[in-house]
């Protein structure tokens, strides 16, 4: 999986797991991702050179805010702290948009 695919999976997990879009709200990739794909790509690293590190399970757990896992990962791989910050910033950004599905 390349960094672009991983970045989109992170953003998808945040969008869908938090009900920002659903079957009644069409998903517009350009509108929902914007510059965030590049920001997430830049923050993604492959700890220990292991490109298999970013499994769908790890992406989902980190994107939905499994803070036990996130803190363990950051302790082991400090460079992931910037990724966690960007994901939090993205969540805050989504909260400000008028098209959000939930209150």
Across the range 12-20, mean pLDDT stands at 76
Alpha carbon distance 4, 79 (integer Å)? 18
Contact between 11 and 90 under an 8 Å Cβ cutoff? The reply is yes
pLDDT (tens digit per residue) in 29-42: 666 677 888 999 99
| Residue 103 falls inside a structural domain | no
Number of domains forming the structure of the chain: 1
Report the predicted TM-score, pTM, of the whole model to 2 decimal places.
Answer: 0.76
| Residue 73 falls inside a structural domain | yes
* Structural domain that includes position 67: 3-22+31-96
pLDDT (tens digit per residue) in 40-64: 999 887 766 666 778 888 888 888 7
């Amino acid at each position: 999986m390349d960094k672009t695919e991983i970045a989109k999976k992170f953003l998808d997990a945040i969008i869908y797991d938090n009900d920002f879009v659903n079957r009644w709200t069409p998903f517009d990739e350009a509108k929902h991702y914007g510059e965030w794909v590049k920001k997430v790509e830049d923050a993604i690293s492959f700890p220990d050179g292991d490109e298999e590190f970013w499994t769908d399970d790890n992406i989902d757990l980190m994107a939905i805010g499994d803070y036990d896992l996130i803190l363990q990962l950051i302790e082991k791989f400090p460079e992931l702290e910037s990724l966690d910050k960007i994901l939090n910033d993205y969540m805050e950004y989504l909260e400000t948009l008028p098209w959000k599905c939930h209150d």
